[in-house]
Structure 1
Amino acid sequence: MAATDPALTALAQGWCALSLLHGRIEAHIEKALQSRHGLSVREYSLLNSLSRQHNGEGGHLQMKQVADAVVLSQSATTRLVTRLEDRGLLSRYLCPTDRRGIYTDVTEEGNRLLTEARPTNDGALREALDEAARDPQLAPLVRAVETAGVPLASTPVGGASSPA
């Protein structure tokens, strides 16, 4: 039997702890968003990502960029966009300079829901991090998240900066 490299074992344990932290946070936020706003973490993340678009050069995200931002495949992202479009939270239109391109924008109703849901997302994130900080295995990761320089209020859990 081959000996296990202690550095790789520690790395694997670290990855498991990070995965555990992510799962706990996402589950906590999912529950809060679903119960208060009828949104999943992925739906919130999509609305949040698309709400940052602007009309200037490079201001609109292509579907691949949207998929990367919400950590989903392009086909899953398209289904998610369709669901939110059916709910009146998003709209799609052709790119004015390249008729092959399709842009997706958050509607007024989508922005209203996002504005209402943002404090829920942020509060649930804070609660989940505070709870995880009491676990000695997760406390160092919580400190790392809190000092990473990424504003927590604008980074959804299901967004690009979180593990999938």
Structure 2
Amino acid sequence: MTATDPALTALSQGWCALSLLHGKIEARIERALQSGHGLSVREFSLLGVLSRQHNGPGGHLQMKQVADAVVLSQSATTRLVTRLEDRGLLMRYLCDTDRRGIYTDVTDAGLALLAEARPTNDSALRAALDEAAKSPELAPLVRAVEELKAPVQVA
């Protein structure tokens, strides 16, 4: 394949469209969450990931797993956790079985803010997708996003 290969050009255009859609969605949600709840998209995402932890086997995430889930480096995730902990939305504690392990839980205040912000996030996401669907280059990606289903969890 050469740099002018039509397959590479199409692939590059598809990637650019996906990046554009992501940017539009994230910017819309960021504005809505910041103005309505004083949360960034990353903070909302982190609270959401940590709120799904449970006390069963494998129910608490290590910092690397949290970082992977919110698509940040471990150091950026640690800084984000610290900011939310300083705001009283998270708390850290040592793992009972491995004193090197540190876990993070969402506080009641964090859960309340997450519940309050979730409709704002969902509404902003819907608005961003509706707006993007008007663009011929983004409409197929919007349809693909709308068709995605969360994986079914088997108990």
**C-alpha deviation, 1:150, in angstroms:** 3.2
> Over aligned residue pairs, what C-alpha RMSD do you find?
1.1
After TM superposition, the score normalised by the length of structure 2 is 0.95
Partner of 1:103: helix, strand, or coil?
Answer: strand
Provide Cα deviations, 1:59-80, integer angstroms capped at 9, x if missing partner: 0000000001111000000000
**Shift in alpha-carbon separation, 1:9–1:113, aligned structure 2, 3 A:** same
Q: Which amino acid aligns with 1:111?
A: L
Following superposition of structure 1 onto structure 2, how do residues 111-126 of structure 1 map, counting pairs within 5 Å? 111-126=111-126
Provide Cα deviations, 1:26-56, integer angstroms capped at 9, x if missing partner: 0000000000000000000000000000000
Ranges in structure 2 where 5+ consecutive residues have no aligned partner: none
Between the aligned partners of 1:149 and 1:8, the Cα distance in structure 2 is 29
Between the aligned partners of 1:3 and 1:88, the Cα distance in structure 2 is 52
Q: Which amino acid aligns with 2:146?
A: E
Between the aligned partners of 1:31 and 1:52, the Cα distance in structure 2 is 25
Give the aligned partner of residue 9 of structure 1: 9
**C-alpha deviation, 1:89, in angstroms:** 0.1
Relative contact order, higher structure (CA 8 A, sep 6+)? 1
Identity of aligned residues (%): 83
Q: Which amino acid aligns with 1:83?
A: R
**C-alpha deviation, 1:107, in angstroms:** 0.1
Q: Which amino acid aligns with 2:80?
A: L
Q: Which amino acid aligns with 2:43?
A: E
**C-alpha deviation, 1:149, in angstroms:** 1.6
Give the aligned partner of residue 87 of structure 1: 87
Provide Cα deviations, 1:115-136, integer angstroms capped at 9, x if missing partner: 0000000000000000000001
Partner of 1:88: helix, strand, or coil?
Answer: coil
Q: Which amino acid aligns with 1:62?
A: Q
Number of residue pairs matched? 150
Following superposition of structure 1 onto structure 2, how do residues 54-133 of structure 1 map, counting pairs within 5 Å? 54-133=54-133
Partner of 2:92: helix, strand, or coil?
Answer: strand
Between the aligned partners of 1:150 and 1:121, the Cα distance in structure 2 is 17
1:38 paired with 2:44, answer no
After TM superposition, the score normalised by the length of structure 1 is 0.90
**C-alpha deviation, 1:148, in angstroms:** 1.5
Q: Which amino acid aligns with 2:76?
A: A
**Shift in alpha-carbon separation, 1:52–1:3, aligned structure 2, 3 A:** closer
Q: Which amino acid aligns with 1:130?
A: D
**C-alpha deviation, 1:3, in angstroms:** 5.9
Q: Which amino acid aligns with 1:37?
A: H
Ranges in structure 1 where 5+ consecutive residues have no aligned partner: 152-164
